[in-house]
Amino acid sequence: MTISQMHRSQFRTVLLEGIHQTAIDAFGEAGWPVSAQPGALVGDALAEAIADAEFVGIRSRTRLTREVLERAPKLVGIGAFCIGTNQIDLDFAAKRGIPVFNAPFSNTRSVAELVIAEIIMLMRGIPEKNAVLHRGGWTKSAANSWEIRGKTLGIIGYGHIGTQVGVLAEQLGMNVVFQDIEAKLALGNARAFATLDELLAVSDVVSLHVPETPQTANLFGARRIAMMKPGSFLINASRGNVVDIDALAEALESKRVLGAAIDVFPVEPKSNDDVFTSPLTRFENVLLTPHIGGSTAEAQENIGREVAAKLIRYGNNGSTVSAVNFPEVSLPAHVGQCRIMHIHHNVPGMLAKINERFSEAGINIATEYLQTTKDIGYVVIDVDAQASRVAVDELAAIEGTIRCRVLC
Ligand code: NAI
Q: Which residues contact 92 (CB under 8 A, 6 or more apart)?
A: 66, 69
Q: Pairing relation of β-strands 34-36 and 55-58?
A: unpaired
Atom number, ligand 1, closest to the C-alpha of residue 158:
9
Averaged pLDDT, 13-29: 96
pLDDT in tens, 23-71: 999 999 999 999 999 989 999 999 999 999 999 999 989 999 999 999 9
pLDDT at 360: 85
Tell me if residue 299 falls in helix, strand or coil. Answer: helix
What are the catalytic residues? 239, 268, 291
pTM of the model: 0.86
In this structure, the number of other CB atoms found within 10 A of the CB of residue 269 comes to 13
User: Band of the pLDDT at 362, cuts 50, 70, 90?
Assistant: confident
- Give the bridge partners for 191, in sequence order: 177
Q: Does domain 108-288 have CATH number 1.10.3720.10?
A: no
The letter for the amino acid at 260 is A
**pLDDT(8) > 60:** no
Gap from CA of 158 to ligand 1 centroid (Å): 8
Residue 9 has what pLDDT?
Answer: 59
Which amino acid residue places its CA nearest to atom 42 of ligand 1?
A: 294
Q: Ligand 1, residue 264: give the atom nearest the CA.
A: 41
**Mean per-residue pLDDT over the chain, rounded:** 94
The residue type at 188: G
Q: Kindly indicate the confidence band of residue 390, based on its pLDDT and cuts at 50, 70 and 90.
A: confident
Architecture in CATH of 328-408 = 2-Layer Sandwich (3.30)
Beta strand spans in 157-204 (E) = 175-179, 191-192
β 13-15/376-383 pair status: unpaired
Give, in order, the Cα–Cα distances in Å from 121 to each of 84, 172, 266: 30, 14, 24
Q: What residue spans define the domains of the chain?
A: 1-107+296-326, 108-288, 328-408
3-class state of residue 109 by DSSP = helix
Partners of 406 in the β-ladder: 5, 340
Question: Would 1-107+296-326 and 108-288 be classified into the same CATH topology?
Answer: yes
pLDDT at 2: 58
Per 3-state DSSP, the chain is made up of helix, strand and coil in percentages (nearest 5) of: 35, 20, 45
Question: Which of helix, strand or coil describes residue 177?
Answer: strand
Q: What is the pLDDT of residues 220-276, one digit of tens each?
A: 999 999 999 999 999 999 999 999 999 999 999 999 999 999 999 999 998 899 999
Identify which of 60, 165, 181 to mutate to test ligand 1's pocket (most ligand atoms within 8 A of the CB).
181
Q: Give CA–CA dist 321/319, Å, rounded.
A: 6
Would you say residue 6 has pLDDT above 70?
A: no
CATH topology of domain 1-107+296-326: Rossmann fold (3.40.50)
153 CA → ligand 1 middle, Å: 17
